[in-house]
Structure 1
């Protein structure tokens, strides 16, 4: 999760138009479109297999301290290092100590993969020194919720208290899940709308392809992506498939209207998170928010509020693809490749829209509800999502070819789709492979995840 914006020099919001402009200001010419990739990973102590605490010789704090040898600059909150920054990228913490790389905005996926490789190499060097490791799974395989330590970030205290009021799985989301996502640009409002609709419709396909969380509390949980299942009952006010995005007239203003109706979490003032959970941002706009009486929000407050909304595709000044489980190294590169191929070439985007434009709201909803359990075998129009994945990957491949971004071997970005092609051909994702291993070579021994799924 992003660090809060500094509100001191941020303009006061006196009209809805300012919030609309905040979103629309993300529009960029195609030559300036970039790729940002974020991925989380689960830390553990190699000898005990327990989660890494924040403090101690073998800890998240030790990781963040050790990584500073690679010219990462620390970010401190309440006297604790809670993030690192370097060259437009950051390393940050999720509530349960999941270590996240938020990558710099890059031009092509080859650069993304180089960034991922450098980061994982740095993490491994420090982790090996302190006896730690990091898992490439979308959900903690055996650690119970009550055994996961909470990181010392102020907003997490507010979220932890609020989540059980609005859903049954919010704390699971906070403390036990891991995702990989990619952030992509748009050129105009109409371009944003088409990209939003295509990526929302195909988000369950991404969930199926990247499904990688079949274990809970040491046993099979009956799902391909239990992380996706968790999101179905986290907080209905701020999650989901955004059906209004497919309505005539959708644009930046309609997303602002949606955001204003999502209950708040906090207001950040003078280094402190003030608990505004469940309160109305519309009241804030009227100067009637009781935690900061008489104050009007700033653009920074609006940015913070946008960061607390969790739909399958999130709009800020860019679009965030949020439907995938984290996975092995190659899949961290495959996710941006998949979406860049679909969204960054106009012919591919048009073809992808043709693929999904007649899908109904009910069909999109059913895919999201069913894909967590059934993955690529999710039924759809007499077939399965496997067939849709094959079609989507073919479109993505053509889009990546058209971009013509080559590595030093003369290979295009399509090289990163190879494992996804295998998943789509066989109908088996990484989760299916793990299920087969658990029932076969592992003989039900979940501790094998800590050797077979380590970065």
Structure 2
């Protein structure tokens, strides 16, 4: 998110929290696609990370983008920490280690998404090139140590940085050294939300495998194809993971609210951020929060709290698919195409739901645990995940073709699945391609990734 919410509408009971989620229901004609992607900024002359301050720092980069785009600045005290497109709803924000994120506007089709991505990267290059800054799309920082990675001046990140080591071993790696691409999608009803959450969660390990693109750490190969995904396995298990309760009978908005209420808070924002890490939203609603005595909950507190919960699929007034590594330009269009084809076409959604209907929670968790290392080679029911990938990608392509959103010479959005389909068909991930380059052409020099894979 580019900015935390400040809506002061009082929230007094659980029903209001449920109603907030339920208010996301839309007519299918109004469904939109919101794509978010993060990338690492680096200096092109020596491949070091870009700090916030300085004439060629992140602050100056944001100011240059503000001047070019005319977007409104998002401030944290005196620090510019993002930009907001008040007209169309898009935003630029900073992740804790300076990862530069575009939170795309809600768009009607994947063609528009790709035009948005192209325009953003083009504008970013126009501002960044004279500063000697490039950008790399991978899932985990391939070279820099945690100590070498800069910190952005966002108060919420200071609170999270203090709290993360108390609840897991990899939280700081997640914050400062990972990048993702995700897509946000709509639902028409509670039943539609449930179907999409179940399919999305069951198939999220598959998406992780298809988009695996983070095999390096501190200049060396690791045993993982998606180190980003592995990091999430021990970041904060109270607020991350596969949400087995989604597959229980009776799951709906109320059950998700109960789950979210059980997740400890990070902060409460009034004029400033108040550190209430580990404390209860229930106590805030009742005016007895130890960290902020007497304060009552606002709707913005609930919106902000939902944004600090990190399961593989996250429910707000829309659904966020969160399992994929950051990647090259084509993956920034391929991920929304994959999920739109599956979830925005009723026939493909039903077929995907039938495919995963008899998968057990234990099987899905096992996939989640193995995929960071073995990706499409992960064993599953007498075959491998690659077998499932080919079937699911075919469902997504059929869904996009039935949607028939045309643009130029293309009769549908299915063209954006070509690269994903190639990975599924070959069973060879981007991570495996990077590892082979490292062993051969690059002669063990991971710096080559900055030269050959930058946007």
CA distance in 2: counterparts of 1:410 and 1:204, whole angstroms: 30
Match of residue 447 from structure 2: 447
The answer for the alignment partner of 1:15 in structure 2 is: 13
Separation in 2, partners of 1:2, 1:122:
18
In structure 2, what is the equivalent of residue 414 of structure 1? Answer: 414
Contact 2:2 2:91 in 1 (8 A): no
Rounded Cα–Cα distance in structure 1 between residues aligned with 2:254 and 2:82: 33
The count of aligned residue pairs is: 452
The whole-number CA distance in structure 2 between the counterparts of 1:355 and 1:418 is 22
Task: Classify the secondary structure of the residue corresponding to 1:374.
Answer: helix
> Equivalent residue for 1:127?
128
Q: Matches of residues 169-208 of structure 1 in structure 2 within 5 Å?
A: 169-208=170-209
**Residue 71 of structure 1: CA displacement?**
2.1
| 1:93 equivalent in structure 2 | 94
The alpha-carbon deviation at position 12 of structure 1 amounts to 1.2
- TM norm structure 1: 0.98
Moved more, 231-240 or 65-74: 65-74
Deviation at 1:344, TM superposition (A): 0.4
Residue 157 of structure 1 aligns with which residue?
A: 158
**TM-score normalised to the size of structure 2?**
0.98
CA contact (8 A) 1:203 1:323 kept: yes
Q: How many Å separate the matches in 1 of 2:94 and 2:201?
A: 27
1:147 corresponding residue in structure 2:
148
SS at match of 1:76: strand
Give the match's secondary structure for 1:146: coil
Please tell me whether the aligned partners of residues 2 and 307 of structure 1 are also in contact (alpha carbons under 8 angstroms).
no
Q: Name the structure 1 match of 2:77.
A: 78
Superposed displacement of residue 291, structure 1: 2.3
Give 1:282 shift.
1.4
In 1, the alpha carbon distance for the partners of 2:11 and 2:172 equals 32
Q: Deviations over 1:93-136 (max 9, x none)?
A: 00000000000000000000000000000111111110011011
Give the C-alpha shift of residue 2 in structure 1: 4.3
Would the aligned equivalents of 1:45 and 1:58 in 2 still touch at CA under 8 Å? no
- Per-residue deviation at 1:410? 3.2
**1:426 and 1:214 mapped to 2: Cα distance?**
19
CA contact (8 A) 2:2 2:83 kept: no
SS at match of 1:256: helix
Residue aligning to 2:249: 248
What are the superposed Cα offsets for residues 167-220 of structure 1, whole Å, 9 maximum, x if unpaired? 000000000000000000000000000000000000000000000000001000
Contact kept, 8 Å, 1:205 with 1:389, in 2: the verdict is yes
Moved more, 290-299 or 397-406: 290-299
- Provide the residue aligned with 2:352 in structure 1: 352
In 2, Cα distance between equivalents of 1:241 and 1:436: 31
Q: Partner residue of 2:338?
A: 338
- CA distance in 2 between counterparts of 1:247 and 1:119 reads 41
3-state DSSP of counterpart to 1:364: helix
1:266 aligns with 2:267: yes
* Distance across 2 between alignment mates of 1:322 and 1:380: 22
Per the TM alignment, residue 331 of structure 1 is displaced from its structure 2 partner at its CA by 0.5
The residue that corresponds to 2:54 in the other structure is: 56
Q: Which runs of 5+ in 1 are unaligned?
A: none
Residue 287 of structure 1 corresponds to: 287
Does structure 2 retain, via aligned residues, the 8 Å contact 1:148–1:175? yes
> Matches of 1:447 and 1:295 in 2, distance apart?
50
Give the Cα–Cα distance (whole angstroms) in 2 for the partners of residues 132 and 352 of structure 1: 42
- What is the CA–CA distance in structure 2 between the aligned matches of 1:217 and 1:318, rounded to whole Å? 36
Q: Extract structure 1 runs of 4+ deviating beyond 3 A.
A: none
Runs (5+) with no aligned partner, structure 2: none
Q: What's the Cα RMSD here? A: 0.8
Which is worse superposed, 410-419 or 91-100? 410-419
* Counterpart Cα distance in 2 of 1:11 and 1:417: 42
**What whole-Å deviation, never above 9, does each CA across 1:241-277 have from its counterpart, x for those lacking one?**
000000000000000000000010000011x110010
**CA–CA distance in 2 between the matches of 1:395 and 1:203?**
15
1:180·1:332 contact (CA, 8 Å) conserved in 2?
Answer: yes
- Supply the distance in 1 between the matched residues of 2:260 and 2:225 (Cα, whole angstroms): 31
Equivalents in 2 of 1:213, 1:292: separation in Å?
Answer: 40
Match of 2:381 in 1: 381
Q: CA deviation at 1:349?
A: 0.4
Distance 1:386 1:375 in 2: 8
